[in-house]
Structure 1
Amino acid sequence: MELGFGERDFTACCGSKKFAEEMSRAGPFTSLEQALEASRDIWFNKVDINGWLEAFAAHPQIGETPSVNEKNETSAKWSKGEQSIALATASNCSLQELSEWNSWYKQKFGFVFLTCASGKSSAEILGELKKRFSNRLIVELEIAAQEQMKITELRLVKLFDARDSRTPHAINQPPTGSMLKQDFRVVADERIGRIGAHLSLSTDKTLAVPSRTRPPITTHVLDVSVGRPGVGIEVSLEKWEGSGSLGFSNAQNVDGWSLLGASVTDSDGRSGRLLPVVDRVPNGYYRISFNTGKYLKAGFFPYVSIVFEIKETQVLEHFHVPLLLSPYSFSTYRGS
C-alpha cells in the first residue's frame, strides 16, 4: 500500500524546504521504514548547510510554548507536545535561566539550541545546554544536525500514524544514537569543507566531542583577607607566541603574548571559560593575569600575572591555577 504525502506534511517534520521537496519527490512510500531511510539519506547527503540552518530556525526556543498561529500548525502542535514534560517540570526561575542560556547559545553559535526534547525535564535540557555551550561551532553543528534527525524521525512516525493508524510498521521507535552518528560520519569528511567555508571555519576534520567536561586551564580567586571568594575580578589568559624560548628578559614583551580568552570571576570566585573544552591543550608558556587593582583599590598590586609552562608530556592534563589574594600579598599553586 502506497502512502502519499505533500511538501507541507514533510515541512511539519523538518523545516528545511529542500528536505520537504526531496521527500515529496522520493515518495510515495510503501512503509514507514522506507520513509525513515529516505529521510536520513536526504538530510545527511542532499540538504546543504543553508537547509540545516533553515530547519533549526523553524523550531521554537526550548522552554517557550510555540504559537498555534505559526506557519505550520502541525509543527507547532508537535513542538508543544515534545516540550510538554519540560514545561510541566519547570519553575518560573528555571524557565528564566533556560531563556538566558538559550539567548547566550544563539549569540555564540548563530542558531537556536536544538535537542530532541521528548521525555526530557527542564533540568535535563538545561544541563545539556550548559554542557554543549563550550563546544566548538563545527562540533555543535554536528550535534544539532543529529538532534534534528531524531526529531524528524519521531514526527514521521506521528505523520504515518495520523494518516493511517491501521498501517503496520516494523519499528515502534525510530533509530537514534550510534546509527545516526554513523550516517553523519559517512558524509562528514566530504561536506566539512563546504560547511567550513560557509561558516568561516577551519577545515578541522576532528569532529569528536571532547572527553573533558571543562576547559583544560581554569582558575579561581580567594580573598584571604576576608575569607571569601574574589568576585568580579577581570581575568585574561594568554599564550607565548614569541620567537624562541620564554625567559626572564623577554617575558614582558607584549608582542610575544597572544590573548586566548578573558572573563570575570563569579560569586564563587571562579572565572568563566578562558579556553574551549578540548582534549589536548598545546604545550608552551601561558600567562593568567588578574585586574587586582580594580578589585582592591587600596591594595599594593595593580595587577597580578602568573606565568606557567605546560610541557609536551602534559597536554592531556588539567591545569587549575588559583590566586590567593590579600591587599599586600598573593600566592598561587597548581591545583586540581
Structure 2
Amino acid sequence: MTVGVEVLNAMPADRLRAELLACCAAPAWAAEIAAGRPYPDRPAVLAAADSASRRLGWADVSQALAAHPRIGERAQGGSRDAAWSRREQSAAAATADDSTKEALIEANRAYEDRFGHVFLIFASGKSQAEILAAARQRLTNDEPAEREIVADQLRRIALLRLERLLDALG
C-alpha cells in the first residue's frame, strides 16, 4: 500500500470529504469514495472513484460543474481545486493568441446559452486551439449527447485530481 492511500484511509471524515470535494464537487461522489474505505491500494481507490463517477446523476454533475471556472478563465483563490484548475489550463493559456482567446470567450458564451452550464473539458495537455475546436464541435450536440460527454469529462478530471491528491498525501 502506498503512503497516500494509507493517509487517505486514516484521514478524519470531515477532512477527507473536503479533499475529495476538491477533486470533484459532487457530494455523492465524495461520500461513496469515503464510504469505501479502507482501500488496499491506489488502483482500488481509483477504480472506486471511476465507478462512483459513472453513477452520478445529472443533478450531481450539475452541482460539480458549478465549481469549475470557465475554460480560459483563471480560477481564483488558494484552494486545492483552484490550483489544480490553473495547472490544468496553464499549458493551453500559454499557447493561445489573442484571436483564439477571444473566440474561446465567444464559444463559452454560446455554449452556456445553449446548454445552461459552463463548457467542461479535460484540458490537460490540450492547446486553446484544440479546446476551441472541441467547444465548437460540441455546440452541435443535442442535450442528451452533451450531458454524456460532460459527465465523462468530469470523470476524467476527477480521476486526475484524485491521483494528484494521492501523490500530495504520500
Percentage identity across aligned positions? 37
Deviation at 1:86, TM superposition (A): 1.0
**Do residues 48 (structure 1) and 54 (structure 2) align?**
no
> Could you report, residue by residue, the CA deviation over 1:260-284 in whole angstroms, capped at 9, with x for unpaired residues?
xxxxxxxxxxxxxxxxxxxxxxxxx
Correspondence for 1:29: 39
Q: Which residue of 1 aligns with 2:166?
A: 160
SS at match of 2:7: coil
- 8 A contact 2:119–2:135 mirrored in 1: yes
Give the CA deviation at 1:48. 2.2
In structure 2, the gaps of 5 or more residues are none
Counterparts of 1:52 and 1:151, CA distance in 2: 12
What is the deviation of 1:91?
Answer: 2.0
In the alignment, structure 1 residue 115 sits paired with structure 2 residue 125: no
1:38 corresponds, among 35, 48, 68, to 48
Q: Deviations over 1:179-217 (max 9, x none)?
A: xxxxxxxxxxxxxxxxxxxxxxxxxxxxxxxxxxxxxxx
Secondary structure in structure 2 of the residue aligned to 1:128: helix
Match of 1:83 in 2: 89
What is the CA RMSD across the aligned residues, in angstroms?
1.3
CA distance in structure 1 between the aligned counterparts of 2:84 and 2:51, rounded to whole angstroms:
23
Equivalent runs, 1:1-336 vs 2, <5 Å: 1=1, 2-4=6-8, 5=11, 6-45=16-55, 47-68=56-77, 73-164=79-170
Shift of 1:111: 1.4
Q: Which has the higher strand share?
A: 1
- The structure in which a higher percent of residues are helix is 2
Q: What is the letter of the counterpart of residue 159 of structure 1?
A: L
Query: How does the TM-score come out when normalised to structure 2?
Result: 0.89
CA contact (8 A) 2:24 2:158 kept: yes
Q: How many residues align?
A: 160
Structure 1, unmatched stretches of 5+, are 165-336
Q: Provide Cα deviations, 1:76-118, integer angstroms capped at 9, x if missing partner.
A: 0000000011110112222121011101101111111111000
Cα distance in structure 2, aligned partners of 1:102 and 1:96: 10
Cα distance in 2, alignment partners of residues 76 and 90 from structure 1 = 21
Work out which of the two has the higher radius of gyration on C-alpha atoms and give 1 or 2. 1
SS at the partner of 1:83? helix
How far apart, CA to CA, are the structure 1 residues paired with 2:130 and 2:51? 30
Give deviations 1:142-170, integer Å, cap 9, x for gaps. Answer: 01111111111111111111111xxxxxx
Structure 1 length as normaliser, TM-score? Answer: 0.46
